[in-house]
Structure 1
Amino acid sequence: MTVTLQKIQDEVLKPFQNHRQLSIKESETLTLELLALLCDDEIDNGTTLKYLAKLITPTTYDDLIEERNLNHLCGYPMCGRAPERNSQEHNPSLLHGNSGVMSPHHNDALIRKFLWENNPYAYLSKFCSKFHFRCSQFYQVQLNENALFSRTGIHLINDTLKHTTPGNVENDEYQVTLFEDLLREKTSEEDVKSLVVGLKKLGLHSSTDDTVNAEDKLLEDELSQWLSDIKIVENANPPLLGDLEKDD
């Protein structure tokens, strides 16, 4: 069963509609409920994933990836597949010696981080593909660092006093763009290459400089394949009212 925006509102946010300012305890409870809901199933569409950005921080998102991985799900919330590989199963050298015995450093967080950053395929232990790894990175880097309890009114389903920016855009500081949406606007191989360059500037890499060029080529190939799978079909006789006629 997929997680919809309505489900998030009904099952997670509904108990917290009495006031606009969450307490620290309430925000922690809400976050735990949100993680519990999202760790077992995928999100139904991009609209729901964008809405989720209002309610989580980069740290919360890291926790979500970990919880989903524990349930053998790809870390990207809109995916229902399993990670491509298990790091300990397919890369025993990361935590085990040649003899198969657990390394004495397996509990050292700094060493684990070093092994992760220097393994060009480490992301496959958390994500189903390079593409969803990049989608996840792109999403996470846009998440706001503000604690949930400081986001006044952000949790309210029907907020009559919504915060607006000078540009009259509601909660603009919590809005995100999805990598998939950005790709749909790109139409050529050169666009894809320029997008890869942009990701490099953001520092969205999982490995050292020695493997960056190989990763970029792989990513370009994956994005090109993804774009080729998008088929645009022109309707020769479109309805006068467009999609509105479908609601009749």
Structure 2
Amino acid sequence: MSSVAEKPKGILKKTTTPAPAAETRGKPKPDARETAIRHARIIHSRRDIQDQISDSIIELSHFPRTRNESYTSSSPAPADAEAFKNLVRLYQPSDYDDMIEERNCNGMCGYALCPRPRVKMSQGGNFKLLNYGTKDFSIVPKREVERWCSQKCARRAMYVKVQLNETAAWERAGIASIQIDILEEPKQSDDPASQLAKGVEKFKLEEQKPTDDPAEKLNLDKEKKAAQDARDLELATSQLAKEVEKLKLEKDQKAAQNARDLALERGNPQTTRRSVKVAIREKSVKMAAEAPSIDTGDEGHLILDGYKTKFDPKTQTISKGTNLTETAEKDTSEE
């Protein structure tokens, strides 16, 4: 009796293959033309800012505009001071150095609000002794001294330079809170006669003030004190606001730097840099490849450093059947 083997049946339920999931539509890819236009606009805006900085350097090389005896580098004209602060607002320290160099080429002091010419040392040597015999004695390069008309102007110029930022100008162009201050100095007259006249006039005015009413005098003192307190409060508030804006700017710059470092560490492409596409193509060969062959007439092996040996194998070789003694005797007999 022949038995037919039956295929065993499984007790588990048949698994049904799930239907392929519908492809989720991702975000549409940006148009290449729109991306190129956006990048071109960014590049043009940056170049416009750089052009503005270059134009401002040329403009500041002819400052101050108002040249009058009543205005000096310590107390410049208000219009010139305001224009100077607006022009150097987006400067980097390197741009400020370029402006100083441009003014020196014109023979002027490096401080933009100073109308006097720069100092020129006639003595030889590359260094200069300053404040010799005092506690402020120093040795500085001669070129550094010749950038200014005096050490006071150098101090005023460096006061502005330390406020500048290394961040690119186009990153700071939209921040209105960035302001540049110039060094404020007490206004003092150099003429002793004018100081004496002002003192006498002030004394006369104080004598003419009525002091009979104590209540009026007390109210006047209170008003002066209140006005002084209001001015002090306003000054402290403005300084606090500047400090807060400065801290916020430093925080944003640090966060941006950390983000760039993290992207570089992860290997993510940086968006600020232009990506270059490299196409690798196979070099086309115009002629068919040939197998190397030994050419019997080639004498390239006889050339060494451009010199070809004059060895003639037909006349200077000895055949195998020739005896060396016979050859030597033949040469002797010929001699």
Smaller-chain TM-score bracket: 0.3 to 0.5
Structure with the greater alpha carbon radius of gyration: 2
TM-score (normalised: structure 1): 0.45
Q: Which has the higher contact order (CA 8 A, sep 6+)?
A: 1
TM-score (normalised: structure 2): 0.35
Pick the structure with more helix per residue.
1
